[in-house]
Amino acid sequence: MSKFPTHYSLLITHYSIYMVTNNNRVEQVAREDLVMFINACLACTGQREFYDDAYGQRVSIDFLHDYILGNYRLFYARSLAAGINHFNQAQIILKLLATGKDTLPQHKEEEGALIAHALNALPPQRAWGVLQQLRQRRINNRRSRAIARDYLQQRRDLSFHAVKYRPKVRAIASHAHLKLQGELGTFLFRNWKQKVYETELFEKFRQAHFSEQAIYDLPFTVAEGLAAKHKVKRDVFLTRIQQQMTVGEKLRFQGAAERTEKVEIDLDLGKLPLTKLALYILSLPLETRTEQREIFHPALE
Indicate if the pLDDT at residue 150 is higher than 70. yes
**Mean pLDDT value across residues 30-59:** 77
Check pLDDT > 60 for residue 18.
Answer: no
Lowest-pLDDT choice from 129-133, 190-194, 241-245: 190-194
Position 25 pLDDT exceeds 50: yes
Predicted TM-score (pTM) of the model is 0.77
Give the three-class secondary structure for 155.
Answer: coil
pLDDT in tens, 96-115: 999 989 999 999 999 999 99
Q: Which amino acid is at 295?
A: I
- Residue 35 burial class via C-beta count within 10 angstroms: exposed 0-12, middle 13-18, buried 19 and up: exposed
Q: What's the CA gap between 223 and 19, in Å, rounded?
A: 66
pLDDT, mean over the chain: 83
Task: State percent of the chain over pLDDT 90.
Answer: 33
pLDDT computed for residue 263 by the predictor: 67
Q: Where are the alpha helices (DSSP H) in 154-199?
A: 158-164, 166-175, 184-189
Tell me the domain boundaries of the chain.
Answer: 29-96, 138-206, 211-267, 269-301
Other C-beta atoms closer than 10 Å to the C-beta of 54 total 12
Query: What is the tens place of the pLDDT at every residue in 259-282?
Result: 555 667 777 777 777 777 787 788
55 or 8: whose pLDDT is higher? 55
The 3-class secondary structure across 111-128, one letter per residue, is HHHHHHHHHHHCCHHHHH
